[in-house]
Structure 1
Amino acid sequence: MAPPLCVVCKTERALIKRPKNHQKLCKGCFIQIFEDEVHHTILSSGLFYPGEKVAIGASGGKDSTVLASVLKTLNERHKYGLDLVLLSIDEGIKGYRDDSLETVKRNAAQYDMPLKIVGYDELYGWTMDQVVETIGKKGNCTYCGVFRRQALDRGSKMLGIKHVVTGHNADDVAETVLMNLLRGDLARLSRATSIVTGSNASDVKRSKPLKYAYEKEIVLYAHHKKLDYFSTECIYSPEAFRGSARTLIKSLEKVRPSAILDVVRSGEDMARLVPGQTQDPCACKTNAAPAPSAAEEDNGGGCGSANGRSTGGEMAAMEKQLRENDKAAEEKLETEITIPKSNGTGDRSKPKEPKASSITVPIMKQKLGSCERCGYMSSQKLCQACMLLEGLNKNRPEIQI
């Protein structure tokens, strides 16, 4: 039996079966389609503007290395006009981060990009090795997550940059969707599914250009482009809750290849129930990738498949009410809650009088300020990082002189 031909160019021998939709592609067409889909995501989501200075969160792993390579390629090919810089965070994990940073340094030379490295030790006075030694492996990812987010902001501020791109892929987003569903955290689900994220605690915008790219395809792209990346997992991550979500996602992918993008899209649909989240992150109406033959199943383009899903029109009334409620709440600092007065029978639902009197309970909204210790924006006296550091410092053994 003759080897199959690429379904796109129909001339070269197919070497790759796309994990996303099982298209059979040659090396050249796969690389082109992968880059075109990322380009499509960038344009449809309006991620950049000409002349913008952007920091690439670089860890030396496959995701950030592919992101840096693709952005450099697309920036030159499509003339985005971006000023790209590599920004790395040194958590202080011996045998892991120190080795991966060597890869980042090589990437900086290979891609001709400036590199800035910011360490936990210089920002917080603690390394992750010291944190784990103090609190153990359970819960250490919470500390690292808070410290890392703030470190990215501080590193960006040092560089005078207000936009950081990260290598989060479709698998990462799907895992986060499942984690937040299991926690019942709809508000966090909304932030996690958005391609552009930020918070009131920071003026730095973060975006995920690889949001719709499968992890397996990122590995294939890195392999066929012969990219230099570090492949060892964090030595403290196996204890993380995310590992359970990752195992479930991989099991679903084996049964249904489009499951990852289906979970991402479902997460986006649910996030629209949150006030203020009324649009899909990607505003496109068509897929960027060439469509496979009719016999191909689980078709998925740059932004995933919409097969079998509603357009969201039936939710319009609910969304309108949510937007109105949110807008009304923003117009004043106090929210009034009307409580019917009791009619003396213990039944509040059926007052005797036609007009029930009411009392008003004011609920004050949080006001954003600055952390009293580090100056980082926070609605509390201390930001999350300083609160965690306060607990750590109490348990730090005193140095004997």
Structure 2
Amino acid sequence: MALKCNVCQSERPVLKRPKNGSALCKTCFFSCFETEIHETITTGQLFKRGDKVAIGASGGKDSTVLAYVMKLLNDRYDYGLDLYLLSIDEGITGYRDDSLETVKRNQHQYGLPLKILSYKDLYGWTMDAVVKETGLKNNCTFCGVFRRQALDKGAVAIDCNVIATGHNADDVAETILMNILRGDVARLKRSTNIVTNCGDNDGQSEGTIPRVKPFKYCYEKEIVMYAYFNSLDYFSTECIYAPNSYRGFARTFLKDLESIRPSVILDIIHSGELMSLKETTIARLPARGVCSRCGSISSQSVCKACVMLEGLNSGIPKLGVGKSSKVDAIRKPIDSCVDKRLDF
């Protein structure tokens, strides 16, 4: 007897869902996938009518499916959202230039306006130039800091008040693992929040742009299958610098765990959500202020992006990747030299 879809009991299943093991036909899979995202959006109150939403678009599977599903659900459920595609060009030859061509095709396929900002225009550096200066060890740290700030600047440029990112359940679980392995307990709560921004500890500081994760509970495998069955146009090549990242090791560890216990991804997320920490100085994130140089939200007088740029421009790239105390020790001689030049 042929196996039937667990939902409709009539069609032949095309996949077994990794999160719960149910066998679904294509139609029922689409329905379940889209309905779960709709419930995540409504339960988490990610948007309100009239919001202008910048969808972080890289051309990869996650952001492509996010743009497709957000447009579909916005039309189906009448969210009343204005949707935009926002892309950041990090300046990685043979990777980002190719993926941006995919984003440009998505712009026409989905009928959404597109804004592209580059590291070169914003910071005067491309990631290729940064890697040439720093080597492969800490390049993802530079890219992550620059990208987070660039998304904020891009959203402001197109007058959006919400940023939607394609971070999926695997990404969230990886971040939780990384914070635990680093002993960074202060960021555990923030890493599990479905709505975050660069504001205060609760993520609701005035003047900052909230970031939402509609795919927080979506498995990466299901996003890939959804893109495949819908014949979506996306770019599948991994960043040429990513294999050296700390996240890559956490991802490999998580995949090994998932092969033994498929529910481990959601288990880790739920564990992170339920963790409660004693209110101590160690477990409390620093208060946020404004960077004295660029005006961005920062917990220090000078934000991380500006410190990194200072290091790159001064020929001391390690300036931006150390602990705050070490960074201050390195910066003092630089500031002293600057003061002497000004006195002269």
Structure 2 distance, partners of 1:379, 1:233, is: 32
Q: Which residue of structure 2 lines up, in the alignment, with residue 347 of structure 1?
A: none
1:26 maps to 2:13: no
Question: 1:273 is matched by which residue type in structure 2?
Answer: L
Which residue in 2 is equivalent to 1:203?
Answer: 208
Q: Which residue of 1 aligns with 2:152?
A: 153
SS of the residue 1:144 aligns to: helix
Structure 2 residue 301 is matched with structure 1 residue 381: yes
User: How much has 1:72 moved relative to structure 2?
Assistant: 0.6
Greater CA drift, 153-162 or 89-98: 153-162
Letter aligned with residue 111 of structure 1: Y
Equivalent residue for 2:310?
Answer: 390
Q: Please list, as runs of the form range in 1=range in 2, the aligned pairs for 1:347-386 lying within 5 A after superposition.
A: 368-386=288-306
Matches within 5 A, 1:2-401: 2-200=1-199, 203-270=208-275, 272-273=276-277, 368-395=288-315
Query: What TM-score results when the alignment is normalised by the length of structure 2?
Result: 0.86
Deviation at 1:150, TM superposition (A): 0.3
SS class of match (2:2): coil
Aligned to 2:88, the other structure's residue is in SS state strand
- Offset of residue 190 of structure 1: 1.0
Identity %: 61
For residue 172 of structure 2, give the secondary structure of its aligned residue in structure 1: helix
Q: Deviations over 1:209-235 (max 9, x none)?
A: 000000000000000011000000010
The 2-side partners of 1:253 and 1:380 are apart by: 38
Task: Count residues with an aligned counterpart.
Answer: 309
Displacement after TM superposition at 1:379 (Å): 4.1
Q: Secondary structure at the match of 1:395?
A: coil
The superposition leaves residues 81-102 of structure 1 with CA deviations (integer Å, 9 ceiling, x where unpaired) of 1100000000000000000000
Q: Which amino acid aligns with 1:70?
A: V
SS in 2 for 1:38: helix
Aligned-partner Cα distance in 1 for 2:301–2:253: 39
Unmatched 5+ stretches in structure 2: 201-206, 317-344
How far is the alpha carbon of 1:267 from its aligned partner?
Answer: 1.0
CA displacement at 1:274 relative to structure 2: 6.4
How many Å separate the matches in 2 of 1:3 and 1:373? Answer: 66
For 1:140 and 1:395, the matched residues in 2 are separated by 15
Give the Cα–Cα distance (whole angstroms) in 1 for the partners of residues 116 and 216 of structure 2. Answer: 25
Q: Is the 8 A contact 1:18 1:217 kept in 2?
A: yes
Contact 1:86–1:116, Cα closer than 8 Å, also in 2: yes
Cα distance in 1 for residues equivalent to 2:75 and 2:161: 22
Larger Rg: 1
Give runs of ≥4 in structure 1 deviating > 4 Å.
Answer: 365-369
**Contact 2:63-2:166 within 8 A present in 1 as well:** yes
Q: Is the 8 A contact 1:186 1:274 kept in 2?
A: no
Q: Scaled by the length of structure 1, what TM-score is found?
A: 0.74
CA contact (8 A) 2:51 2:161 kept: no
CA positional deviation for 1:244: 1.1
Aligned CA distance change for structure 1 residues 177 and 369 (closer, same or farther; 3 Å): closer
| Offset, 1:368 | 4.9
Q: CA RMSD in A?
A: 2.0
For 1:154 and 1:25, locate their aligned partners in 2 and report how far apart those are by CA, in whole Å: 42
Q: Is the 8 A contact 1:59 1:88 kept in 2?
A: yes
